Every structure is written in structure tokens, then in C-alpha cells.
């Protein structure tokens, strides 16, 4: 007996209910006392962006959705109520305030029961023992995809948002490399080091890097691990991009679904989808339809595309 799970990841780009940082504001300085209601260094995120982001989420029709750049669970619940049909559509929510001083966290919305949540934000960076390893968190979430009288079947998600390339890709590579290595350790710690790919899990999220032939990537040890599959490679090479970087006119894959080898094999007939209808008009490589109201830069759903695929969970 098997179950189809429609799973997605989406960096929703600053899904804030309260504030969005202006240029020139140092987040760590602004948040030395936490969020304070009198603070005026911020501007509110536009409602048009949120509406288009909601349209993108509705369009992908995911059973379970991993999100990056969510301010907190209350913000996510408000977004769910305003744009997604409320609790009846996605009754289960998982999120833990993480390490980012800008308050951007990872989270999960699910139609299916979430039975276990574990944060790994407490782990320290071995190269800088006073700093956290994960820029946000590696949120470990168990989702119950099927329940019977004898047992329940779950899939474990490892939801990530790695260190950005801001400051230079080579200069920030080491941090992502250490984050990727720790995610592998978390998986083997949970499922054993012999053949963790025999178990039902998916590593997913915004890894903030791309693969390349020059060995400059900080995530190749994870993405090319033989216990998982980067399912985006099932698409034609020209269609594998999930993010557009304006300054370099770069179309890259920064967002990943990495199912375990067993889940990937069981889902061999499935192909991922990358939804680009919410991308700004400046991402000119995409020439298909867009949601009403999308602008040259703003409003938009995000600077990332939702990535979704139907997985078979045995």
C-alpha cells in the first residue's frame, strides 16, 4: 500500500505581518531588545505581494508546504487565514523562532498531521564556536501520511534555509558547506549511517547555492549524496532554475527537493514542477502567464519559485 504526497518548498521572501527592513538598517542592532512596537526603522510589507504569494501557494496545491522567510507562526496563521482558506485548508502548522536577526524563519504548513517537531538551531558552528551553525534552523518535522489500525506511516522533512551568498559566494561557501555536512549528520543520526536512504525522508528548502563544474559550490556534498536525489535534474537543464538574480542576470537552482533514495525510486515516474507565474517581469527568460498584478520588480510572489512534486510514500 502506498500514498501520494504532494510536497513543496517555497521561499516566500519576507512574509512579515509587521515590518520589512529598509536598506541601511543593521538587523542585529535593530533587534537588540527584540521587536519593540515603537521602533520606526522599518516599513510594512505590501499587501499586493502577499496576495500574489497566496495565489502561488494555492496554485501548487501542496499537501505539505515547507516555507522559508516567515516571520513567525502567528504571521503564518494570519497569512493562512487571509490568503489560503484558513485552518480548514491547512490545519497543521510547524515553526520555531530561529537564529536570523531579521526574524526570518523556516516553517511548515500541512493538510496532514504533524506528529513530531525538532529544532536544531542550538547547534554551534565548529569554525566559530560563539556563532550558531544554522543561519535560521534545520527544522525536523514528521508528517503522518497514512494511518491504519496496525501502524502509521510517516515521512520526515528536514527544512532548511542555508547561509546566503551575500558577501560573495567564495567567501560564504564554508558556512554552507558546514551546514550541508551537519544536515547529513542529522539524517544519519536519525536513520543510521549504513543505508539512511532506505527510510522515508526529504531534505528540502532554500540552500542558497548552486552546483557547478568548478567545485565552488558549498552544497555539492549534500545535493550529490548517494542517499538522496536532486529531483529537479529530471527536468530539462534549461528549465531547472528556481531563482533569478537581477544584478548578474543569473537563473539558478537555489531551491531543492532531495528525497531519500527509496522515496525517489518509488516516485520514479513523477517529475517536479517549478511555478513561475509569480515571478517579476524582469525575469524575462520566463515568457508564460503570470498572476494578475505582477510588476517589473514589485509586486510579485517572491524572488524564488515554488518547487513541488508528487511523491509515492510506501
Mean pLDDT for each consecutive 10-residue tract of the chain (314 residues)?
Answer: 94 77 66 60 68 97 97 93 96 96 92 98 95 98 85 94 95 97 98 97 98 89 98 98 88 98 98 98 97 95 97 95
pLDDT value at residue 157? 98
pLDDT value at residue 147? 75
- Beta strand 201-206 with 152-161: parallel, antiparallel or unpaired? parallel
pLDDT value at residue 2? 86
pLDDT value at residue 36? 61
pLDDT value at residue 214? 78
pLDDT value at residue 58? 98
pLDDT value at residue 23? 62
pLDDT value at residue 103? 80
Amino acid at each position: 500500500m502506498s500514498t501520494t504526497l504532494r510536497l513543496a518548498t517555497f521561499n516566500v521572501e519576507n512574509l512579515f505581518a509587521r515590518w520589512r527592513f529598509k536598506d541601511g538598517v543593521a538587523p542585529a542592532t535593530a533587534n537588540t531588545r527584540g521587536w519593540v512596537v515603537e521602533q520606526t526603522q522599518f516599513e510594512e510589507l505590501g499587501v499586493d505581494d502577499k496576495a500574489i504569494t497566496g495565489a502561488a501557494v494555492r496554485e501548487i496545491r501542496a499537501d505539505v508546504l515547507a516555507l522559508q522567510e516567515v516571520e513567525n507562526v502567528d504571521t503564518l496563521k494570519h497569512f493562512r487565514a487571509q490568503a489560503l482558506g484558513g485552518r480548514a485548508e491547512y490545519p497543521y502548522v510547524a515553526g520555531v523562532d530561529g537564529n536570523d536577526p531579521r526574524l526570518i524563519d523556516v516553517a511548515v504548513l500541512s493538510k496532514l498531521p504533524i506528529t513530531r517537531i525538532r529544532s536544531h538551531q542550538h547547534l554551534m558552528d565548529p569554525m566559530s564556536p560563539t556563532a550558531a551553525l544554522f543561519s535560521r534552523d534545520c527544522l525536523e518535522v514528521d508528517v503522518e501520511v497514512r494511518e491504519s489500525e496496525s501502524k502509521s506511516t510517516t515521512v520526515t522533512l528536514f527544512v532548511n534555509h542555508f547561509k546566503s551568498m551575500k558577501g560573495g559566494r567564495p567567501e560564504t561557501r564554508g558556512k554552507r558547506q558546514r551546514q550541508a555536512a551537519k544536515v547529513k549528520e542529522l539524517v544519519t543520526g536519525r536513520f543510521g549511517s549504513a543505508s539512511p536512504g532506505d527510510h522515508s525522508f526529504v531534505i528540502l528548502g532554500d540552500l542558497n547555492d548552486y552546483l557547478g563544474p568548478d567545485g565552488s559550490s558549498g552544497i555539492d556534498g549534500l545535493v550529490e549524496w548517494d542517499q538522496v536525489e536532486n529531483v529537479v535534474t529530471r527536468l530539462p537543464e534549461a528549465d531547472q532554475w528556481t531563482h533569478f538574480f537581477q544584478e548578474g542576470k543569473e537563473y539558478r537552482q537555489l531551491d531543492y527537493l532531495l528525497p531519500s533514495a527509496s522515496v525517489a525510486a518509488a516516485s520514479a515516474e513523477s517529475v517536479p514542477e517549478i511555478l513561475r507565474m509569480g515571478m517579476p517581469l524582469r525575469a524575462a527568460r520566463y515568457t508564460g502567464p503570470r498572476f494578475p498584478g505582477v510588476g517589473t520588480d514589485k509586486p510579485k510572489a517572491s524572488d524564488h519559485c515554488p518547487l513541488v512534486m508528487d511523491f509515492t510514500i510506501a
